[in-house]
Amino acid sequence: MSSSLPESPPLALPCLTHQQAHLMEQRLLQRAITSGQTQWQMWRQQQAIIVTRKDAHLAHFEQACRVLNAEGWPVFVRNSGGTAVPAGPGILNLSLTLPTTSGLGPDDYYQLLGAPLLACLRQLGLEAGYGPVPGSFCDGRYNLVAAGRKITGTAQHWRAAGSTQGGAVLAHAMVMVAGDMELGTRLASRFYELAGSELRFAPNTSTTLGSLLGWQGSDDEQALRFATLLQPSLTSQQVTD
């Protein structure tokens, strides 16, 4: 399948450090709690391996961090669950932050998050849906899958309600627009090997939108232009509690 890239100027989406992305997510959650505001956010993140709090307790975690950092892949710990994942400029991060509602559960929030992505992919002529991809990193029921391979991973981070304030949820998608996902898969497996875990991931389980659509250009260009295509779907997406 071949699809030309759009001619319209892309959005300005700088690559954030992990610390900057973490602070942004905390601000979004707090805003949802204090003002009831629902917000979509897109960003990219600098090259890294992002792991879970559980991973940080592996026997040789510190050694794994030192080795990978020396190779240009710093390791950071995130709040959400799952497994290690790669981050980089070709991966577009999309989050939906909103106050929690008693009538909605995790599945509902994943579907709200995925709806504009699926709509945008359909416009590009790419059929995708939800489902697991056994052997992929951070596998889950709400991966977005196309041609049998994972193109987007999803996760959620919940802020519990307090005595005087409600709670909030941040649903997050990492959209693999461009980049070397075979390398990313190997690096995620290597983290676990270095850290003393037997967990490994299978090759050819993840791919990029750019490769499926026949896009050309740098990782930066492809990620930014996909964000430009996605933006109208976000502004038209209605989120109701």
> Which pLDDT score, from 0 to 100, does residue 241 have?
46
> Which pLDDT score, from 0 to 100, does residue 1 have?
47
- Residue 94: its H or E element: strand 91-99
Q: Across residues 97-110, what is the average pLDDT?
A: 90
Q: What pLDDT digit, counting tens, does each position of 209-233 carry? A: 999 999 999 999 999 999 999 999 8
- What percent of the chain shows pLDDT beyond 70? 92
Q: What pLDDT digit, counting tens, does each position of 37-59 carry? A: 899 999 999 999 999 999 999 99
CATH architecture of 15-236: 2-Layer Sandwich (3.30)
Per the model's pLDDT, the better-predicted residue between 36 and 154 turns out to be 154
Q: Which residues of 31-44 are buried (b: 16+ CB within 10 A; e: fewer)?
A: bbbeeeebbbbbbb
Lowest-confidence pick of 7-16, 60-69, 104-113: 7-16
Sheet holding 168-176, edge to edge: 15-16, 39-45, 91-99, 168-176, 149-159, 144-146, 129-130
User: Which is catalytic among the residues 15, 65, 120, 138?
Assistant: 138
Per the model's pLDDT, the better-predicted residue between 177 and 8 turns out to be 177
> Which pLDDT score, from 0 to 100, does residue 121 have?
97
**138 is annotated as an active-site residue:** yes
pLDDT averaged over every residue in the chain: 92
> Which pLDDT score, from 0 to 100, does residue 8 have?
47
pTM metric for this prediction = 0.91
Q: What pLDDT digit, counting tens, does each position of 123-173 carry? A: 999 999 999 999 999 999 999 999 999 999 999 999 887 756 789 999 999
Q: Helix (H, G, I), strand (E, B), or coil: what is residue 60?
A: coil
Q: What pLDDT digit, counting tens, does each position of 64-73 carry? A: 999 999 999 9
Q: Across residues 186-197, what is the average pLDDT?
A: 98
pLDDT of 193 strictly over 50:
yes
Give the Cα separation of 169 and 160 in Å (integer): 9
Q: Helix (H, G, I), strand (E, B), or coil: what is residue 215?
A: coil
> Which pLDDT score, from 0 to 100, does residue 66 have?
99
- CA 210, 212, 213, 214 torsion-angle sign: positive
What tokens appear for 73 in the block? Answer: 């892949």
> Which pLDDT score, from 0 to 100, does residue 5 have?
46
In 138-218, beta strands by DSSP E:
144-146, 149-159, 168-176
- CA 50, 53, 56, 58 torsion-angle sign: negative
